[in-house]
Amino acid sequence: MSGVRIGIDFDNTIICYDKVFAAAARQRGLVPDEWTGSKTDVREYLRSKPGGELAWQGLQGWVYGKGIGSAEIFPGVADFLDACRRSSAGVCIVSHKTRFGHQDADRTDLRVAARDWIRASGLVGADNSALTVNDVYFEDTQAAKVERLASLDLDVFIDDLADVFEQPHFPRGIKSILFGSNARPGPYKAIASWAEIQHEVFAA
Ligand SMILES: [Mg+2]
């Protein structure tokens, strides 16, 4: 598929915070010492406790800001981007990300932190990067995110949140791929791994 235009969400689609959330929650004494779990497990654990929502928001602000350096790229993303480059596909990142986190006294700029991570990961700025700094968009609201991806005239959009695809103004012409499994039925195709997404986009 040459010349195809592909948009990708950032948080929990390209970047995986699971280990950072568990480690930060242990460090803050929010979960028992030996506790392990995914980001979703941390959220559910904290929200089941009194004051857990505030603790969760504080943790999120730290993980998406100062803690982002320990986050990992999902397996298969780099290969997918290589395939995009080989196929001359246009790639952009479109993310709903506020500039500052809730409950973050440090006021860390989350967009700067994310851009630093993107550069450090070689997603932009390297000789073989599939995208440039100008292909990375952070929007204040989910509605603005959908407007952005509509304006980019995309053929494919990949996101871990079903809500995005269910927005009434989400452009129906875009091939919608939900990164994840156990999805409820909706206007998207749920695919659990980046290797399978690559097959879906480039070999289907
Ligand atoms: Mg996401």
Is the separation of the CB atoms in 16 and 3 below 8 Å?
no
Ligand 1: distance of its center to the CA of 179 in Å? 9
User: Is pLDDT at 1 greater than 60 in this prediction?
Assistant: no
User: Is pLDDT at 2 greater than 70 in this prediction?
Assistant: no
Mean pLDDT of 118-130: 92
Q: With residue 138 as reference, give the H or E element that holds it.
A: strand 136-139
Ligand 1: distance of its center to the CA of 48 in Å? 23
Confidence at 170, pLDDT banded by 50, 70, 90: very high
Mean pLDDT of 135-164: 96
Q: Model-level pTM?
A: 0.93
CA dist 172 → 150, 152, 187 (Å):
10, 14, 9
Q: Is the Cα dihedral 165, 166, 171, 174 positive or negative?
A: positive
Q: What residues contact residue 6 under an 8 Å CB cut-off, 6+ apart? A: 84, 89, 90, 91, 92, 154, 155, 156, 157, 158, 201
Residue 180 C-beta-side C-alpha neighbours within 13 Å: 19
Confidence at 127, pLDDT banded by 50, 70, 90: confident
List pLDDT tens digits, range 20-58. 999 999 999 999 999 999 999 999 999 999 999 999 999
Average pLDDT, the chain: 93
User: Is pLDDT at 185 greater than 90 in this prediction?
Assistant: no
Mean pLDDT of 164-172: 93
Q: With residue 68 as reference, give the H or E element that holds it.
A: none
Q: With residue 72 as reference, give the H or E element that holds it.
A: strand 72-73
Looking at the chain, the whole-number percentage of residues with pLDDT higher than 70 is: 99
Ligand 1: distance of its center to the CA of 32 in Å? 27
Ligand 1: distance of its center to the CA of 31 in Å? 24
User: Is pLDDT at 115 greater than 90 in this prediction?
Assistant: yes
User: Is pLDDT at 144 greater than 80 in this prediction?
Assistant: yes
Ligand 1: distance of its center to the CA of 164 in Å? 9
Confidence at 204, pLDDT banded by 50, 70, 90: low
Higher pLDDT among residues 186 and 77, named by residue: 77
